Amino acid sequence: MLKIGLLGAGRIGQVHAAAISAHPDSVLAAVSDVYVPAAEALATPYDAAVKSSDEIIADSAIDAVLVATSTDTHSDLIEAATRAGKAVLCEKPVDLSLARARVCLANAEQTGQPVMVGFNRRFDPNFALIKAGLAAGEIGKAELLSITSFDPAPPPVSYIKVSGGLFRDMMIHDFDMANFIMGEAPVSISATGSCVVDPEIGAAGDIDTAIVTLTYADGKLAVIKNSRRAGYGYDQRLEVLGADGLLQANNMLESSVVKSTIDGVVSAKPTYFFLERYMPAYRAEWAAFVEAMQANNPMPVTLEDGVQALAMAEAAKQSLDTGKPVALADV
Amino acid sequence: MLKIGLLGAGRIGQVHAAAISAHPDSVLAAVSDVYVPAAEALATPYDAAVKSSDEIIADSAIDAVLVATSTDTHSDLIEAATRAGKAVLCEKPVDLSLARARVCLANAEQTGQPVMVGFNRRFDPNFALIKAGLAAGEIGKAELLSITSFDPAPPPVSYIKVSGGLFRDMMIHDFDMANFIMGEAPVSISATGSCVVDPEIGAAGDIDTAIVTLTYADGKLAVIKNSRRAGYGYDQRLEVLGADGLLQANNMLESSVVKSTIDGVVSAKPTYFFLERYMPAYRAEWAAFVEAMQANNPMPVTLEDGVQALAMAEAAKQSLDTGKPVALADV
Amino acid sequence: MLKIGLLGAGRIGQVHAAAISAHPDSVLAAVSDVYVPAAEALATPYDAAVKSSDEIIADSAIDAVLVATSTDTHSDLIEAATRAGKAVLCEKPVDLSLARARVCLANAEQTGQPVMVGFNRRFDPNFALIKAGLAAGEIGKAELLSITSFDPAPPPVSYIKVSGGLFRDMMIHDFDMANFIMGEAPVSISATGSCVVDPEIGAAGDIDTAIVTLTYADGKLAVIKNSRRAGYGYDQRLEVLGADGLLQANNMLESSVVKSTIDGVVSAKPTYFFLERYMPAYRAEWAAFVEAMQANNPMPVTLEDGVQALAMAEAAKQSLDTGKPVALADV
Amino acid sequence: MLKIGLLGAGRIGQVHAAAISAHPDSVLAAVSDVYVPAAEALATPYDAAVKSSDEIIADSAIDAVLVATSTDTHSDLIEAATRAGKAVLCEKPVDLSLARARVCLANAEQTGQPVMVGFNRRFDPNFALIKAGLAAGEIGKAELLSITSFDPAPPPVSYIKVSGGLFRDMMIHDFDMANFIMGEAPVSISATGSCVVDPEIGAAGDIDTAIVTLTYADGKLAVIKNSRRAGYGYDQRLEVLGADGLLQANNMLESSVVKSTIDGVVSAKPTYFFLERYMPAYRAEWAAFVEAMQANNPMPVTLEDGVQALAMAEAAKQSLDTGKPVALADV
């Protein structure tokens, strides 16, 4: 039974606590949060201890830590936990600073401890089927990937201000998804973006709508579309055109009910909330982490993957700022 | 915290054990099974006691029992448990004998104890939405209900022999669904059926394919189609035509992935296994039972509902045997 | 170039006139109608002569006649035209009287002239694909056929009164479709029906909603559902369960446009008007008639098929009236 | 009755001949082709004269000419025909040279004769519904347009060599579609493209796969994806995200038949051939031309629209060559 320390008791920490606890081979041993009552509220139903992050990392009875704190603490905590001999599952992004993330990667690698980055969408069964279908040659060699990723509604502007911006906060999932599906990183990234959803987001220095194009060494192409608002739900689709056909992952719908009247044929909307859509993915992500730890296998999503996606976000930001494509090798 | 005794540790008992245990207000206190090792295997991970059914029913610390034993014991156990002052959730069917089920109903009613019958499909979110849409007047008054209910594969012939036959074992779910959606029982039932899937089923005295038509006092009509085999999955659809439109509940699919190649556009199949399809319904069923117990409300599916569906199965059997419609009032 | 005489210049006559004229091997030579101005209005744009039905039938320059007059004249016109050595395509139903239709069949057969009955739906590309898929063994042997056939709105009650009733006027299409798909006629027919759409229809002695079950010699089953009103459009679906799977023909939709908003995901409705849905079928029907004439092949839908469907309508009516299944051999 | 001269008797000329002839207010009066037997073969069934292009343009009895010749002759023929006082419907593109097209536009405008460019997709009922839905405010203000346009198979390399390249030959339809849907031209265009379908296409100096991003003055964004090969059919989809929702035009399918077996649920493919998909659009296009001529209204697609789309193709080519976004105002 793996004893897990959870750093961060916010919304995403709560999701992970449930997954840790539900897994037959892991137990939530301790929880920390800068706001102690939050840690207490989360720890109590799981019979977990409430400690500081430092205490958890120093606790030799803890086998692994799950880092679900604010982004600015990720690198430090990864370094501290790996130095302390613990396996780590850290939420995305690794850091807002690519340079810092790279230092973190180097330091963590020196410890030899396994670090996984929480790109939960890789564990969505639909996207995993696309990956498997490609690997099985169902549509031949991939040529053109298209990712549609719209949030149902924008987060508060206060969050936007500290989020690192759309590329680092939101599209980073899609950058990693492109790497996952394509099996390699692109060579060049070209971004366009604008603020059409909410001028407050623009005033906060961010964009809310973006199209980013990726080109690959062998000529493959990919495009990612992001919007902070698709009022009808959480629109998460992906399709890849290959030499022999097309693989598509469509949205999960709220129900299978269809109503036909004189006003039209009405189906259910895509699930609205990210947890509704990706809860199975969070559970599968945790199971994959546990399995890799137990088998001493490489993590299914590495810290390097996390840094790679961050580099792509950085390249996209540079491209947006300069109006020119940016070589990934140059960031 | 309600203390629950589970009678029967077979496949469906295991499903209920998980639902009982996962519910915040109930705990699996004791398990019985005629095959004691099965009870032990199920009880151990839940820290539940292993007892005989009699002991569980006699145990004053037990608040409610869940009857998941073989059908021939249902009536006796419902009577014993209600006599002992316990609430009961009993799997369908109440009994293979309509007469016995009616006696059981009378006896249970005398105790005043609440009894719920496990028609889990009422708690399927899709079917529940159909019911709610009708109640909300989304398509006006119901006129024509159509239920398609195909199993992925027939059960072993050994099971068929003791099942009570297709009407009592399989279509009973659909009879109850018709009552649920229509909000009343039909006045007349007309059945056709045959054995085209597997001659062994016919040799065992049963049919494997059936169409049953229901007529209602006010002219509404319903039709239920059953087959023991739809190789592509568990085909569970329902549609109701009303004065102003149509409501349909389509199948749940294994994924949202679509593959387009020269050979066609291939979508995911309906989920194959009944638990995959109806697990949310089993959880919701248990939650509804707990909620009704706690609030001292009428059970959402009553023992009378269970007897009603059984009477419809009996009428269908008589109709099949005589080749004539049978008035429900006459069985 | 086949010279065609069209008897009847009503709505369906106009449909056929267009199909006759558009076919490269046939020309609309003459048109008759009891209301001469209607014949003139239809004939003029096609440069066709306006004559009486008798004149057209007597005209040796006419190769074939298309009978699109009122139902009570069909048998007489088929007999007269075949006696005059002409091929005939006659609209359904052959007659409202099964006895009269049988006499007509006998008389027409004596002339040796080919007679086709206008069951246009056999030529709908989707239903034809189902038939072809079954023939190709795509789902193994057929076991359970289900036909859903709802009109968008009921016809005027004045029409209902002379229509012969729902079974002869509307469901006759579905009886023929069952024969087409199953490749044989059923042995027994059981009908339920009621008047829930419009009490005026009931006052006119008809039903507006019906479910008819068909049983076959080898155990196959079929069910046909009819309603005179499905406000959302012309609902024409068919599905057949076979030993290895399911074939479904879904509705044709008005467009491929989907709108997703907070209110739901809205797709296009089924086409509303029967001509919109079945125009390709009418054209293909005519082409099949011409091809059979030219090749001296048997007609793809025979007069016997027309009488068979009428017998099934008669059996359904008897079943509805008596409340018992009726053997097709007994009508 | 408008008398129409058709210049060019190739595949697309044949499509237009059928539309001209089928329209009640137009007649195909004359046909020309550099290969006279082709003109003769096309003219004969329509009873049209065979003449040279010069003769047709000089013929005062001809009201309008339809230019369906090779692209290098378009500008000259538009100029000659408008000078001769004729209305013109010219196939896309106006010219391979943007400069030449602009001269043609200036010259044609001086004559005051109406010129329409054959962007047939504007008349596709589905895309037209999207445009209408946007205009009706169904999803609020447009924010992000996405066009997927894949051919089923690449044309012969010999054609590629004279086609002007993917942007001028294929994506030009999508540039016009973006202008149609967005109601304005973009300010900047950024292109990526590669040759992954067939190296022969690359050897011919062209690309076969491309992603082009468009940015608009007010922050709207659009992306167009092209591939010369989607083996499963002609993939023509469009979706636009607005402030209040999403409008999508999905593919037209070959049938409404669905087959479910153990191997999956197989639907029909998108129609494969462009004529199958867009024939209704060609007919509607011609009807719109005739209607504008008769009413003396502005053409629904102007020569300026044709030049605008060509300028976008030119900008895309420059962007591809330079690796930088190109301002549309700069080409």
Nearest to D143 among A144, A146, A196 (CB): A196
**For A219-239, what is each residue's pLDDT tens digit?**
999 999 999 999 899 999 999
Write down the pLDDT at residue A313: 98
Q: Which residues of A touch D219 (CB under 8 A)?
A: 194-196, 209
Q: Is the pLDDT of residue D301 over 90?
A: yes
CATH assignment of the domain containing A68: 3.40.50.720
| Nearest-neighbour CA in chain A from B244: distance (Å) | 6
Determine which of D259, D269, D279 to mutate to test the interface with C (most C C-beta atoms within 10 Å).
D259
Q: Which residues of C touch D129 (CB under 8 A)?
A: 255, 257
Is D30 inside a domain boundary? yes
> Within 13 Å of residue B258, how many CA atoms lie on the same side as its CB?
15
Is B99 in the same domain as B135? no
Q: How many residues does chain B have?
A: 331
Is C245 in the same domain as C126? yes
Q: Is the pLDDT of residue A287 over 90?
A: yes
Determine which of D139, D145, D166, D192 to mutate to test the interface with A (most A C-beta atoms within 10 Å).
D192
**For A131-169, what is each residue's pLDDT tens digit?**
999 999 999 999 999 999 999 999 999 999 999 999 999
Share of chain D above pLDDT 70, in %: 100
Nearest to A269 among C232, C264, C268 (CB): C264
B245 touches A: beta carbon within 8 Å: yes
- Considering chain D, what is the average pLDDT of its residues? 96
Q: State how far the Cα of B19 lies from the Cα of B288, in Å rounded to an integer.
A: 11
A153 touches C: beta carbon within 8 Å: no
Is B46 in the same domain as B191? no
Is C43 in the same domain as C155? no
Structure tokens at D34: 């550099």
Q: State how far the Cα of C53 lies from the Cα of C92, in Å rounded to an integer.
A: 18
How many other CB atoms sit within 10 Å of the CB of residue C22?
A: 13
Is C274 in the same domain as C161? yes
Determine which of D148, D234, D237, D260 to mutate to test the interface with B (most B C-beta atoms within 10 Å).
D260
Is B167 in the same domain as B276? yes
The mean per-residue pLDDT over the stretch A95-123 comes to 97
> What number is the ipTM of this complex?
0.95
Which stretches of chain B drop beneath a pLDDT of 70? none
| Nearest-neighbour CA in chain A from B80: distance (Å) | 36
The mean per-residue pLDDT over the stretch A191-220 comes to 97
Q: Which residues of C touch D133 (CB under 8 A)?
A: 257, 259
CATH assignment of the domain containing B321: 3.30.360.10
Is A287 inside a domain boundary? no
Q: Which residue of C has its CA nearest to A263?
A: C232
The mean per-residue pLDDT over the stretch D154-164 comes to 94
Q: Do B267 and D265 touch (CB under 8 A)?
A: yes
Q: Which residues of C touch A262 (CB under 8 A)?
A: 231-232, 269
Is C288 inside a domain boundary? no
Is D107 in the same domain as D132? no
Phi, psi of A47, deg, nearest 5: 60, 35
Q: Is the pLDDT of residue A277 over 90?
A: no
Is D129 inside a domain boundary? yes
Is C103 in the same domain as C153? no
Q: Do B256 and A126 touch (CB under 8 A)?
A: yes
Q: Which residues of A touch D150 (CB under 8 A)?
A: 241
Is C149 in the same domain as C214? yes
Parallel, antiparallel or unpaired: strands B257-261 and A245-249 = antiparallel
Residue C209 · residue B196 · CB < 8 Å? no
Q: Do B213 and C213 touch (CB under 8 A)?
A: yes
Give the model's confidence band at C281: pLDDT under 50 very low, under 70 low, under 90 confident, else very high. very high
Q: Is the pLDDT of residue C76 over 90?
A: yes
Nearest to B255 among A129, A245, A260 (CB): A129
- Which residues neighbour A134 within 8 Å (Cβ) at sequence distance 6 or greater? A142, A181, A240, A242, A247
Q: Is the pLDDT of residue C83 over 90?
A: yes
Q: What is the CA radius of gyration of chain A?
A: 20
Domain boundary among D76, D95, D113: D113
Residue D282 · residue D119 · CB < 8 Å? no
Q: Do C268 and A265 touch (CB under 8 A)?
A: yes
Is B304 inside a domain boundary? no
- Which residues neighbour B239 within 8 Å (Cβ) at sequence distance 6 or greater? B145, B146, B246, B247, B248, B249
Q: Identify whether C298 is preceded by a cis peptide bond (ω within 30 of 0).
A: no
Is C220 in the same domain as C184? yes
Write down the pLDDT at residue D276: 83
Structure tokens at D17: 């001949």
Quote the domain boundaries for residue B231.
128-280+309-330
Q: Which residues of A touch C265 (CB under 8 A)?
A: 232, 253, 266-270
Q: Which residues of B touch D233 (CB under 8 A)?
A: 260
**For D43-83, what is each residue's pLDDT tens digit?**
999 999 999 999 999 999 999 999 999 999 999 999 999 99
Nearest to B265 among D261, D262, D269 (CB): D269
Q: State how far the Cα of D96 lies from the Cα of A128, in Å rounded to an integer.
A: 44
Q: Do C265 and A232 touch (CB under 8 A)?
A: yes
Q: Which residue of A has its CA nearest to B270?
A: A256
- Considering chain C, what is the average pLDDT of its residues? 96
**For C110-134, what is each residue's pLDDT tens digit?**
999 999 999 999 999 999 999 999 9
Q: Which residues of D touch B270 (CB under 8 A)?
A: 260, 265
B-proximal residues of C, 180-199, CB under 8 Å: 188, 190, 192-197
Q: Which residues of B touch C221 (CB under 8 A)?
A: 192-194, 209-211
Domain boundary among A113, A138, A160: A113
Is D97 in the same domain as D60? yes
Give the model's confidence band at D120: pLDDT under 50 very low, under 70 low, under 90 confident, else very high. very high
Write down the pLDDT at residue D89: 98
Is C72 in the same domain as C219? no
Q: Note the pTM of the prediction, 2 decimals.
A: 0.95
A252 touches B: beta carbon within 8 Å: yes
D246 touches A: beta carbon within 8 Å: yes
Structure tokens at C201: 């229809």
**For C8-38, what is each residue's pLDDT tens digit?**
999 999 999 999 999 999 999 999 999 999 9
Nearest to B262 among D232, D262, D267 (CB): D232
First to last CA, chain A: 42
Alpha-carbon distances of B94 from A97, B31, B98, B103, rounded to whole Å: 65, 20, 9, 11
Q: Do C259 and D125 touch (CB under 8 A)?
A: no
> C-alpha B128: how far from its chain's center?
14
Q: Which residues of D touch B268 (CB under 8 A)?
A: 264-265
Is D290 inside a domain boundary? no
Share of chain B above pLDDT 90, in %: 97
Q: Is the pLDDT of residue D30 over 90?
A: yes
- Which of A52, A111, A45 shows the shortest CA–CA distance to A78? A111
Q: Identify whether C93 is preceded by a cis peptide bond (ω within 30 of 0).
A: yes
Q: Is the pLDDT of residue C274 over 90?
A: no
Structure tokens at C105: 């069949």
Is B91 inside a domain boundary? yes
Residue D270 · residue D235 · CB < 8 Å? yes
Q: Do D262 and C246 touch (CB under 8 A)?
A: no
Q: Do B267 and D269 touch (CB under 8 A)?
A: no
Write down the pLDDT at residue B123: 97
| Nearest-neighbour CA in chain C from B273: distance (Å) | 16
Domain boundary among A113, A130, A156: A113
What phi-psi label fits residue C264: left (phi over 0), alpha (psi between -120 and 50 degrees) or beta?
Answer: left
Q: Do A259 and B249 touch (CB under 8 A)?
A: no
Structure tokens at B85: 């002052």
| Domain count along chain C | 2
**For C245-260, what is each residue's pLDDT tens digit?**
999 999 999 999 999 9
- Which residues neighbour C302 within 8 Å (Cβ) at sequence distance 6 or greater? C115, C116, C117
Is D104 inside a domain boundary? yes
The mean per-residue pLDDT over the stretch A278-303 comes to 96
Q: Is the pLDDT of residue C275 over 90?
A: no
Q: State how far the Cα of C320 lies from the Cα of D9, in Å rounded to an integer.
A: 62
